[in-house]
Chain A
Amino acid sequence: MNATQRARVLVGGAIVAAIALVGIYLAAGGSSYAPEKTKDPCEPRAWRNPEGLQEIAQQFTLSAMDGAACKLGVSRETLARALATPESRERFTDRYDIDEAQLARAIRAGLLRAVDDAEEAGALNPLLAAPLRETLKSIPLSEAIELINNAESLLDNLQSFLAPAQGLLEQFLP
């Protein structure tokens, strides 16, 4: 091989090696290795497994957060972090210029959506859904946040309240 050929081989080899490396990394998913995008909270989210009180409570909470986040125009994840502590809530309201009344309205809307979703998924008895909606429409902010954080206790109380009533109704209904 003469000097010119050696020079061509060197440059050609460099081009092939560079294209091969970039091509292999692209094919292995290098262009999409990024944090997963969060879902739009306004889009309906299918209930994963509406069986068991704990599972239902989790799904109820997630639906409520989706509903509230949708109302506020933020992601469900941002709202979840905001509601973690009073300090994080204050930072959130300051950053997004939201007052307590707006936050309360959004969370109530979220809880109502959670009731709708639970009913649609067959996880909440329709007999309970109506009075629950009425209660949630006027619930204070601090209690609404507590409900999101601990939906299980709410649902537990509701189920225990309903169980005898439901049994009674079933006796009379066709």
Chain B
Amino acid sequence: MSAEAPKPRVAALALAVGLVLADSSIVVLALPQIYRELDTSVAGVTWVLISFNLVMALAAVPAAHLARRVGPGRAAAVGLAIFAGASLACGISEQLSTLIAARCVQALGGAAAVTAVLELLPASLGSERRATALWAAAGATGAALGPAIGGLLTELVSWQSIFLIQVPVALVAAVPILAVARHEAATGVLSAELRQTGRPHMLANLALAMVSAAIAAALFLLVLLLIEGWRLTPIGAAIVVSVMPLSALVGSRFGGAVESARARAAAGAILVSGGLGGLALLPKAEVALTIPPQIMVGIGLALVLSALTETALAGRAPQAIHGGWTISARHAGVVIGLLALTPVFTADIAEQRHDAIDAGTAVILDSQVPPLLKLDLAQQIQSRLEGEKGRVPTIGPAFEPLPDDPEERDAVVQLRDELQEQLNRGATHAFSPSFGLAAILGLLALIPIGLAKRVDL
């Protein structure tokens, strides 16, 4: 194959990587809507995210080996076709079980496509280093943009549209790759010679897994806090969480000035942990207060992910296999983060909900509102709580219509605000331990990062 492949092919390869890796996070903002529409639990809906990442983690390395045996062009084209078909199945799923099954198939196709692309890119760009850089950048861009795109589609169309729109995109990406597949079929020549596979960089991949766990938790928990806790719309939440990818762009510029991958990885892990620590200690339920921690996490993730991926791939051949290991480590980290933290925060949210309702009841009992109106409000609030199935309730409608009497109206408005404040406190505090644990996980990644200098496994 020519060293100067046509630009549409390179763009298609990058698009394929971005599309697949966006899927690890694209449904994050749709989870609350899926949770409500499919009538499931928080733990259940988390599997829409976990299943994809788990299969990616398990399938990435075998898929890379397969791509090298059958030909990366064919593996990428078939992988994208499977990905498109499974995306369609996700989009028309009416049950959680079928959605999760389709997500698993989607990840299988995605794993084949992403690892095969890393095998195709060096031939298309004429340089293994440039190929690695483009592959990593396309993946990071997709993963970073995923939540915002998913949030926009969820609110403007539906959660199903997130998957349906991926069908034509995957097919468009597959078309230029088909030429490579046809070339492989016609000539029987693979784009890269089969070489001995070296051992993966254990410490870099371990650190990648730990940092990915912390970052996934940050994104997932923040979205749930914004939508379920503070009642933002998916678009509102998408705008808020887009601070993280924007900061990641800035972070990638910082990284260029420092040669030491170990220093970049360490600084990135510290920033991710610091940002998560900030989210664990939010002093008020205000969106603006999530911005500084998000900036820190965004800059940190750009530094640490690129440094660790670079370390894991440096001097190791073949790139597709070691790229497969990094994909596997990152997605395994996401799964571990979600599995470890979901039970923690679901337990905390139940406890905090109870405390918030108690505090809210105290506010009603001690308020200046007339007793009969108080009783009426208490009963309306009680019925809203029962209708919310364990989630943090919205109590505003229970106060409508407001009384005509100005004095009574003021007392009711004050009561409503105080009650909402208690619920906000409960919702925010419920996420604190999970953010705190994620911060610790990010800090623990410093151990393999620190050891990586002395022992190169």
Contacts and interface: CB of A to CB of B under 8 A. Distances in A.
A30 B283 contact: yes
A38 B358 CA distance: 7
B420 to A, nearest CB: 12
B287 interface: no
Given A6-B257, A22-B281, A75-B358, A11 B263 contact: yes
A174 interface: no
A21 to B, nearest CB: 4
Interface residues of A, number: 47
A121 B358 CA distance: 27
B267 A10 contact: yes
A81 B382 contact: yes
Given A17-B274, A18-B273, A36 B362 contact: yes
Main secondary structure of the interface of B (DSSP, over half): helix
A10 B382 contact: no
A8 to B, nearest CB: 8
Contact of B300 (A3, A14, A81): A14
B5 interface: no
Among B273, B289, B375, residue most surrounded by chain A Cβ atoms (within 10 Å) = B375
Interface stretch (A57-65, A102-110, A162-170): A57-65
B378 A58 contact: no
Nearest to B269: A14
Interface in A82-101: 84-85, 88
B352 interface: yes
Interface in B54-72: none
Main secondary structure of the interface of A (DSSP, over half): helix
A21 B278 contact: yes
Given A26-B281, A38-B359, A21 B296 contact: yes
Contacts of A76: 362, 365
A39 B258 CA distance: 55
A149 interface: yes
A150 interface: yes
Interface string A1-35: 00110111011011101110110011011110111
Contacts of B262: 7
Contact of B283 (A29, A65, A150): A29
A26 B300 CA distance: 21
Contacts of A15: 270
A57 B371 contact: yes
B265 to A, nearest CB: 10
B282 A30 contact: yes
A6 B365 contact: no
Nearest to B367: A58
A22 B278 contact: yes
Nearest first, the 5 closest Cβ-Cβ pairs linking A and B are A18-B274, A30-B281, A7-B263, A77-B361, A28-B283
13 contacts: A3-B258, A10-B254, A11-B270, A17-B274, A18-B277, A21-B275, A21-B292, A22-B277, A25-B289, A30-B280, A31-B281, A35-B360, A80-B365
